């Protein structure tokens, strides 16, 4: 059996509910954090899409890697959901910092001079 056939068989054996749970982890996480006063609906939609996409990307990558390593869908699913949530949180924080820098409300520390002794 070739590697491509093994990959297709592994994906066919993967329970569909694991894929759905991993993908929805970011959506639920951002909807939980989206209830902030003064945030426009367009911004909430951008954040939800960013978070949902990053959660799906990180979660699916972790799910497929864990399935390839351990062949246990429950361990792989739990790990993928956790990594998907962490990936979504990190991506959301990076996006929020980028927005703050763009608006000019973020204090960015100055780069230390390499000529100056520490």
pLDDT in tens, 58-96: 988 998 899 889 888 888 888 988 998 898 888 888 988
Q: Is residue 68 part of a domain?
A: yes
The domain of 86 spans 15-103
Angle CA 24–88–82, to nearest 5:
70
pLDDT tens-place string over residues 25-64: 656 766 776 666 777 778 878 887 888 788 888 988 998 8
Helix runs in the chain, H state only: 3-13, 16-33, 41-70, 73-103
Closest CA to 82 of 9, 32, 22, 8: 22
Any domain includes 32: yes
Is 37 among the domain residues?
yes
Is residue 116 assigned to a domain? no
| Residue 52 pLDDT | 79
> What Å distances lie between residue 69 and 38, 73, 111, CA to CA?
45, 11, 42
CA distance 57 to 21: 13
Q: Is residue 51 part of a domain?
A: yes
Domain membership of residue 46 (yes or no) is yes
What is the tally of structural domains in the chain? 1
**pTM, two decimal places:** 0.64
């Amino acid at each position: 059996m070739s590697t491509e056939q093994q990959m297709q068989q592994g994906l066919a054996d993967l329970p569909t509910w694991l894929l759905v749970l991993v993908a929805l982890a970011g959506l639920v996480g951002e909807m939980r954090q989206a209830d902030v006063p003064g945030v426009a609906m367009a911004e909430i939609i951008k954040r939800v899409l960013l978070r949902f996409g990053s959660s799906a990307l990180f979660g699916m990558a972790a799910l497929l890697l864990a399935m390839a390593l351990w062949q246990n869908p429950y361990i792989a699913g739990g790990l993928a959901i956790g990594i998907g949530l962490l990936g979504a949180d990190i991506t959301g924080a990076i996006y929020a910092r980028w927005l703050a820098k763009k608006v000019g409300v973020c204090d960015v520390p100055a780069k230390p001079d390499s000529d100056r002794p520490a």
